[in-house]
A and B are shown apart, each in its own frame.
Chain A
Amino acid sequence: MSGLGWIPRGIILGLIAFAIFGPLANLGLWAFAEQWYFPHKLPVVYGLKFWNQVFKPSSDALGSLGTSVVIALLTVAVSLSLAIPAGYALARLSLPFRGLIMLAFLLPQAFPSVAVYINVARIFYTIGLNGTIAGVVLVHAVHGLVFAVWIASAAFAAVDRDLELAARNIGAGAMRTFLTVTLPLAAPGIVASAIFVFLESLDEFTGTFFVGVPDVTTLPLLMFTASVAGNYQIAAITALILLVPSVAFMMFVERFLKADVLAKVGA
């Protein structure tokens, strides 16, 4: 391989890197820019003034972060408590209309959700759930169920049936077998789905936008409001806070994103 081959390859990789990291770099610059105006190509004054503003104890941002985390944790609890039994039944028990039931769990992913959220908000308004944490959690949990049920069912299906039979043969009941054999073996998949549901909830915007108003402000909503109001520093800092779990999750799932797993999608 001659040295010249590197030139086009390097240029293309450089362009890809610029396309991917350029927008993120611009966000990073805004987070540390105290003053930045036309025609300066880079911030005029750098500083942490806006970080102090975001992280001062009484700030909206910290409050929103707290709200977001509480909602995400509750969403995981609701989603998984519904998805684990359902996933087990779909993987292990004989169910009538099994295919149709699996399809029902895909529905929220198969329709554009804005009009649905509008009508959820309208229904919630009549029963007093609009603008409450509980309402937002329910909306997030339904979206989370799509992934939670499918991943849980795949995790249970992957557990070796012989191990369960062995436990049953030496006298363990169905419930004990499930709790001591099946569930621990399926745990890695279920933990992965819990993290995924958590992240989806943390990042969710549209459902919260319609159902959470005016009282529930999550971090994505705060970021959106700051951005639309032209407050780019606050928007950039809150965006960076949202980026941390997203990027950490990408590193974490690296191990799960093996080719042999992905090859089964749609195959």
Chain B
Amino acid sequence: MGASPSRIRMHNPRFLGIVLVAPALTGIFALFVYPLIFSVISAFTTKDGQATLANFARAFELYSLDIGFTLVIVTVSTLVCGALAIAIGGYLVLGENPRAVAILKWLYRWPLFIPFVVAAQCMRTFLAKNGLMNNTIVSLGLLEPIQTTSLLDWRGVVITFVWKQTPFVALLVAGAMASLDRSTIEAARNLGAGRLRILIEIIVPQIMPTLVVGMILSFVTMMSVLSVPIMITGESPTMMTVDMAFRINAYGDYGTANALGVLSYLMTGAVAWFYLRRGVQQGGRP
């Protein structure tokens, strides 16, 4: 920003504003929106540029099982994250034992900033048939060694996602719960309502917007993760992200990969719509 030559223009805040926003906006358009549109076009065209639905036909033919699995894994993980977040947030607000509340508060945040690759590596060893989880259960005498199973399949993916994303949703939810007006909670308590009932009937409805935003962000995040399904399950059935990487790396098949990409946009499209609409309603202020 050269200060003196643009002096006169500085007095026109609208012009200045556009100049200041333009570089960042260009970055988003060139490196996100353009490739996004490129992927959609590529999904609907052949290599010669003819319009076609063959890419989608192949995607469904080869990967319909994985498409279903992806939807189930991500939906289940999101719902479990939401439920655990309510439980954690609820206990932090309504818990009557200060020491237990302090311990939980200290405990639940740990996975928050741990990268997905690291979480996957942790779980790859922890959930294995001879991993620390089964070894501990056997050592406690709860199971015989023969009864243990490896959880390194779709269940392992769900567990890893829940482990990694619950602290994020719980942090948002706990923050919203802590800032609620305590008087309605106290009033309900004075009328004899139990804590579970207060949580479900009074607290959760008030923090619903925050909970929904946290869950939607987690849904999109989990749809984008490539490392966890590769490292946890390795084989079929797996998630669409793995199939996309495979089509590219093994065959250079952009058509099918992009068709799978468009399907993943459609899955998140519905949820993202709510998220974006909320953004507009706030006038864009965080």
Contact = CB atoms under 8 A, between A and B. Distances in A.
Nearest to A41: B135
Contacts of B143: none
A267 B282 CA distance: 8
A148 B96 CA distance: 39
A45 interface: no
Contacts of B125: 23, 26-27, 30, 232, 236
Interface string B17-30: 11011011101110
Contacts of A70: none
Interface in B62-110: 96-97, 100, 103-104, 107-110
A89 B212 CA distance: 29
A227 B113 contact: no
Contacts of B188: none
B141 interface: no
B33 to A, nearest CB: 7
Contacts of A117: 35
A20 B280 contact: no
Looking at chain A's contact residues, the main secondary structure is helix
Nearest to A173: B3
Contacts of A102: 279, 284
Nearest to B275: A110
Given A16-B107, A115-B264, A86 B227 contact: no
Interface residues of A, number: 103
Given A104-B25, A115-B244, A266-B210, A93 B217 contact: no
B28 A118 contact: no
A165 to B, nearest CB: 14
Contacts of A116: 32, 35-36, 39, 261
Contacts of B285: 153-154, 157
A265 to B, nearest CB: 5
B210 to A, nearest CB: 4
A42 B125 CA distance: 12
Contact of A103 (B171, B220, B279): B279
B24 A85 contact: yes
Contacts of B103: 13
Contacts of B104: 13, 16
Interface residues of B, number: 107
Nearest to B178: A259
A175 B18 CA distance: 17
A111 B272 contact: yes
A110 B220 contact: yes
B17 A227 contact: no
Interface in B1-22: 1, 3, 10, 13-14, 16-18, 20-21
A108 B13 contact: no
A107 B33 contact: yes
A199 B268 CA distance: 25
A261 to B, nearest CB: 7
Given A114-B264, A119-B38, A262 B121 contact: no
Interface of A: 1, 5, 9, 13, 16-27, 29-30, 38-39, 41-42, 82-83, 85-86, 88-90, 93-96, 98-99, 101-120, 122-123, 138-139, 141-142, 145, 149-151, 153-154, 157, 173-175, 199, 203, 205-206, 209-210, 220, 223-224, 227-228, 232, 235-236, 239, 242-243, 246-247, 249-250, 257-267
Given A104-B25, A262-B176, 8 more contacts: A24-B110, A85-B21, A107-B36, A118-B258, A123-B34, A154-B286, A246-B113, A247-B110
A-B pairs, top 10 by smallest CB distance, nearest first, are A115-B261, A262-B175, A102-B284, A266-B213, A93-B17, A203-B115, A23-B122, A263-B179, A259-B178, A89-B20
Interface of B: 1, 3, 10, 13-14, 16-18, 20-21, 23-25, 27-29, 31-36, 38-39, 42, 96-97, 100, 103-104, 107-127, 130-133, 135-136, 138-139, 145, 163, 171-172, 174-176, 178-179, 209-210, 212-214, 217, 220, 223-227, 230-231, 240-241, 244-245, 248, 254, 257-258, 260-262, 264-265, 267-268, 272, 275-276, 278-280, 283-286
23 contacts: A5-B97, A16-B108, A20-B163, A23-B119, A24-B122, A93-B17, A94-B17, A102-B279, A104-B25, A104-B33, A105-B25, A115-B258, A117-B35, A118-B244, A119-B42, A141-B27, A149-B24, A154-B285, A220-B115, A220-B118, A224-B230, A227-B121, A247-B114
